A = this chain, B = another copy of it.
């Protein structure tokens, strides 16, 4: 039973998204093994559901999908899995949407920076060189010690700009 199709994966379906998912799971296994953490069935399932699309997905949407599998899940089930996945760096939270998205680079810890398309909902994780450092160093000048950062830009992706015009 395929979780995803090329069509549903990305509004602009131009890649083999099934590969995104299987690849993400495989890498998650490796990351968890490395960390000595247990990627249980629930956690793996939630990760798959998060990876169903490149658009951030809400916790309650995950919950619905879990229930369609026949499992009787409640909110804590989902939130606990998400918490674990975030601790492992496998999933990031999109603050401006109260939603979650899979990380394409879980092997190395990083500050996540996002471009969020307001038309198609897509989220693209980027890393602007020196940006995180710049924020931390400016904060340090003010005596502030940065522990975590959130950088999210909203607007229109290139595809949606063309479509809308």
Contacts and interface: CB of A to CB of B under 8 A. Distances in A.
Interface stretch (A29-37, A38-46, A72-80, A150-158): A150-158
Contact of A95 (B95, B144, B149, B156): B95
A142 B154 contact: no
Interface stretch (A3-11, A50-58, A132-140): A132-140
A94 to B, nearest CB: 9
Contacts of A128: 134-135, 138
A91 to B, nearest CB: 16
Interface bracket on A: 20 to 34
Contact of A149 (B149, B152, B157): B152
Given A131-B135, A146-B155, A150-B150, 18 more contacts: A95-B150, A96-B150, A113-B135, A124-B144, A126-B142, A128-B134, A128-B135, A128-B138, A135-B151, A142-B158, A143-B158, A144-B155, A145-B156, A147-B155, A149-B151, A150-B151, A150-B152, A150-B154
